[in-house]
Amino acid sequence: MAAEGKAIDALGQFELSTVLGPIGAAVGFTQSNLFMVIAGGLIVALMVYGMRPAAMVPGRLQSLAEAAYGFIDDMVVAQVGEEGRRFFPFVFTLFMFILFGNMLGLFPYAFTYTSHISLTFTLALMVFVLITAVSIALHGKKFLGYFFPEGAPIWLAPIIIPVEIVSYLSRPISLSIRLFANMVAGHVMLKVFATFVVMLAGLGAIGPFVSVMPLAINVALVGFEVLVAFLQAYVFAILTCIYLHDAVHLH
Amino acid sequence: MVDDGKAFSQRLAEARAKQGLDRPVGERGRLPSGPWGIGFRAGVEVVSALIVGVGLGLLLDRWLGTWPWLFLVFFVLGAAAGVLNVHRLFHPRFGARKD
């Protein structure tokens, strides 16, 4: 399905189409939305059914739920401090949503919703609005001091302040581009090498033997993508924590 | 066989300490720092600062009708902010004084 003629269609996998027949078409419910719902359902199921036994010695699902909870709790407390606990639900939701999106995207026929900049930028914008609101709520007018470091010569203000503002505004952009670019790059590479498998296999007698090479690369790539899927969710969550730290401890 | 909770948690803590499983809290939750990761992060920081700078410049130019002057100014500001972002990557602003 990938090799139409001799062209490699690496970007077709990111195209949106509506699902659920006429109902989905009427409300614009795409496969991206479908996988968001699936991811949300799986997260809720993991936490609810995983923690249902609430056993002293946890089973497999409970271990997974507890490990996820403890991992983010450690991260939030280590980065933001004890008072950062109130942001735990936000960071945890963000992390699990991105992690499940990245991981679900690795399954055959699945759609990676984190490969769309519209979604990653919306998430990053939520983080940006939150950190700005938190620092204004906690520090009021002192928030403006963030854009002019103490001790800098006052005549440098016309240069420093615009640069700091642009730097501050670039946070949601870099946050969203990092996640989006990683997911797109990984899936494009998988698709390209998968197409090579099909194209080389058609090379007559030696085809099946030659096509083992891109297949081997793809096996390694899938393993690598699992790592990237986790790492990018982790990076997104920890950068959120670092920004929250900046917002809570302004200077 | 000791089987009350406190002794167990004590023995567990000792065993964990012996195996080096408990890292100090400050070491947890660092950003991954491989060469590729750092390089990619630095690139993304520069590009995103430039996007913001150029975008702001174009927007203000369209609003005030001053094309291309604000675009040029904000392009330079974006570049400077990109360099600042990369600098922050290696010298975090609040990293030195963790309280």
Please report, as a single letter, which amino acid is at residue A52. R
pLDDT reported for residue B26 = 46
Beta bridge partners of A7: A4
**CB of A240 within 8 A of CB of A179?**
no
pLDDT reported for residue A46 = 93
With cut-offs at 50, 70 and 90, classify the pLDDT of residue B30: low
Which pair of tokens denotes residue A144? 């403006």
Taking each helix axis from N to C end, the angle separating A157-201 and B69-90, rounded to the nearest 10 degrees, works out to 80
pLDDT tens by residue, A147-166: 887 777 888 888 889 999 99
Closest CA relative to residue A174, chosen from A232, A103, A134: A232
Q: What is the largest CA-CA distance in chain A?
A: 76
pLDDT reported for residue B28 = 47
pLDDT reported for residue A2 = 44
> What proportion of chain B, given as a percentage, has pLDDT over 70?
74
pLDDT reported for residue B94 = 55
Verify whether the Cβ–Cβ distance A78 to B74 is below 8 Å: no
Burial class (CB in 10 A: 0-12, 13-18, 19+), A185: middle
Residue-by-residue DSSP string for A111-177 = --GGG-HHHHHHHHHHHHHHHHHHHHHHHGGGGGGGGS-TTS-GGGHHHHHHHHHHHHHHHHHHHHH
Residue with tokens 């998968």: A194
Verify whether the Cβ–Cβ distance B25 to A78 is below 8 Å: yes
**CB of B49 within 8 A of CB of B74?**
no
> How many angstroms separate the first and last alpha carbons of chain B?
43
For A232, nearest residue in chain B (alpha carbons): B32
* Owning domain of residue A116: 3-248
Does residue B37 fall inside a structural domain? yes
pLDDT at residue B82 greater than cutoff 80? yes
E strand spans, chain B: none
With cut-offs at 50, 70 and 90, classify the pLDDT of residue A132: very high
For B88, nearest residue in chain A (alpha carbons): A167
pLDDT at residue A13 greater than cutoff 90? no
Domain count along chain B:
1
Burial class (CB in 10 A: 0-12, 13-18, 19+), A79: buried
Instruction: Sort out which chain B residues have CB atoms less than 8 A from A243's CB and list them.
Output: none
Does residue B22 fall inside a structural domain? yes
pLDDT at residue B45 greater than cutoff 60? yes
Domain count along chain A:
1
* Owning domain of residue B78: 5-90
Does residue B95 fall inside a structural domain? no
Of B25, B26, B48, the CB nearest to A173: B48
Verify whether the Cβ–Cβ distance A170 to B56 is below 8 Å: no
Q: What is the mean pLDDT of chain A?
A: 89
Verify whether the Cβ–Cβ distance B29 to A78 is below 8 Å: yes
The answer to whether residue A139 neighbours chain B at the CB level (below 8 Å) is no
| CA distances from residue B26 to A245, B4, B29 in whole angstroms, order as listed | 14, 32, 8
SS (H, E, C) A18-79: ECCHHHHHHHCCEHHHHHHHHHHHHHHHHHHHHHCCCCCCCCHHHHHHHHHHHHHHHHHHHH
pLDDT reported for residue B3 = 58
